[in-house]
Amino acid sequence: MTGEGIIEGETGAQRLMGYVLDVGQGDGRARCHLTVGPGHTNRHGMLHGGIVATLLDNAMGATGSLSRDPGGRHPFLTISLNTQYLGPAREGEALMAVGRITGGGRKIMFIEGELRATADNRLVATATGVFKPLPQPKTEGAA
């Protein structure tokens, strides 16, 4: 996956897990993509719940970021994240998490997310969260 609005290998977590962030669809909703590999599974051979939460957290936080920056890089902090695990995902499955802003304002945003298997659109998990935008870092040479 390459192209405008695609973020790959930007953070240590992203490099470790291998997910790709898509902030270029133009609808204000970020997408986080991952194909489940052997390093993503738990002892039962299913996608580990912590990775499920990570995918949702990234899609939701980047969705918040898109509300401040069309490039999806404005920093946001996760204040809370509640994840509901609805079904398993197994090795080899391609997944996509999508965020959607449901409320909030300038200082706090409420965002929900869904994680689905892309082959059959099966819902794997949902999440709700509270996110806080940080001040935009100043660039060098700015007054």
Task: Quote the CA–CA distance of 19 and 30 in Å, as a whole number.
Answer: 13
- Across the range 72-79, mean pLDDT stands at 93
Per 3-state DSSP, the chain is made up of helix, strand and coil in percentages (nearest 5) of 20, 40, 45
CB within 8 Å of 30: residues ≥ 6 apart? 21, 22, 23, 58, 59, 60, 61, 62, 63, 65, 66, 72, 98, 99
- Across the range 3-30, mean pLDDT stands at 93
pLDDT value for 1: 56
Using a pLDDT cut of 70, give the percent of the chain over it.
93
Q: What is the CATH number assigned to the segment(s) 6-133? A: 3.10.129.10
Q: How far lies 72's CA from each of 99, 118, 140, in Å?
A: 12, 23, 20
Task: Quote the CA–CA distance of 42 and 128 in Å, as a whole number.
Answer: 23
What are the domain boundaries of the chain? 6-133
pTM as predicted: 0.92
CA-closest candidate to residue 130, choices 107, 72, 116, 115: 107
Three-state DSSP class for residue 137: coil
pLDDT value for 9: 93
Q: Per-residue confidence at 142, pLDDT binned at 50, 70, 90? A: low
